[in-house]
Amino acid sequence: MKSPILALTLALCAGAAAQAATPALVIHGGAGVIAKEITPAREKEVRATLERALREGYAVLKAGGSSLDAVDKAITTMEDSGTFNAGRGAVFNHDGRNELDAAVMDGATLRAGSVANVHTVKNPILLARAVLDQSPHVMLVGEGAEIFARSVGMTPVPPSYFYTETRWRELQDALKEEREKAADPKTVPHHGTVGAVALDQAGHLAAGTSTGGITNKRYGRVGDSPIIGAGTYADAKCAVSATGWGEFFIRATAAHDICARVEYRGDSLKEAARAVVMDVIPRLGGDGGVIAMDDQGHITTPYDTEGMFRGWIDTDGTMHIAIFAEK
């Protein structure tokens, strides 16, 4: 039998170990950024939104909150902003509707929740979290996901909530090109997603991703963002959120592949993420990027497009925001 003093010492050591990690947070607002399309006003808006999302998510971590809560906070900030292709700024499908997808995963337990093809959910990432916390399932889609949202107290928003003039013009341009040039569907812009990965004080990782998909999409198309292992994945040692051409990230099970390379091959996080983003995905014919973090707080953000909206607060507490390659 352990003595009371020994038992207390062990308990204190265990508590200290659980609080040993230094929190960190990394977010993205989508890959595929083209320099000539970024006006000074657009860059200012993007940087302000990324900074706000980082500050709000990081505040959760500094207060002792969970990595899941920090991911939710950062992503809801981006969903609400109208700045990115998620939540209020989501793109329109071929029929002029918004179809929203999201997923979240807890690395400590491998619990996950995801939703796809929802139309009236203000914050899809919070619905994905509700699936994780309040249902026996991992993924809900369409009408069933909408019913579940109402059952957990989420008030639907009208379709007009998601409307932005920029996204509507993008759809009209895509439809015009389709009519006039018989455009190949594969040439339709396919980038635009938001995501977050966090490490909390307990040393637990979490990842989340939210998107409106691709402009002019048809037939209830679902990309990689809500698919666990493709666009979103977290385990005890590694967490990833992806952005890019979803069909190829699904085929490569990209997010899980990165973490598997860390776990089974002993690759560094940077090596693993770079191999998948710069070699595997392009070899299949796709492009995009990821944000990733390991359980030591190391962060990497590789992409093979011209740019990727991204930001992070590292274990030193320093904030970084970038769009194109760092100089």
Give the active site residues: 193
How far apart are alpha carbons 260 and 238 in whole angstroms? 9
As to burial, measured by CB atoms within 10 angstroms (0-12 exposed, 13-18 middle, 19+ buried), residue 58 is buried
Q: At 237, give phi and psi (nearest 5°).
A: -115, -15
- DSSP, collapsed to helix, strand or coil, labels residue 123 as coil
How far apart are alpha carbons 80 and 87 in whole angstroms? 6
Residues 6 or more apart from 253 whose CB is under 8 A from it? 229, 230
Host H or E run for residue 239: strand 238-244
- In contact, 84 and 53? CB cutoff 8 Å: no
How does DSSP assign 53-104, residue by residue? HHHHHHHHHHTT--HHHHHHHHHHHHHHHSSSSSGGGPPP-TTS---EEEEE
Structure tokens at 283: 């070899």
- In contact, 46 and 37? CB cutoff 8 Å: no
Question: What number of other Cβ atoms are within 10 A of residue 274's Cβ?
Answer: 18
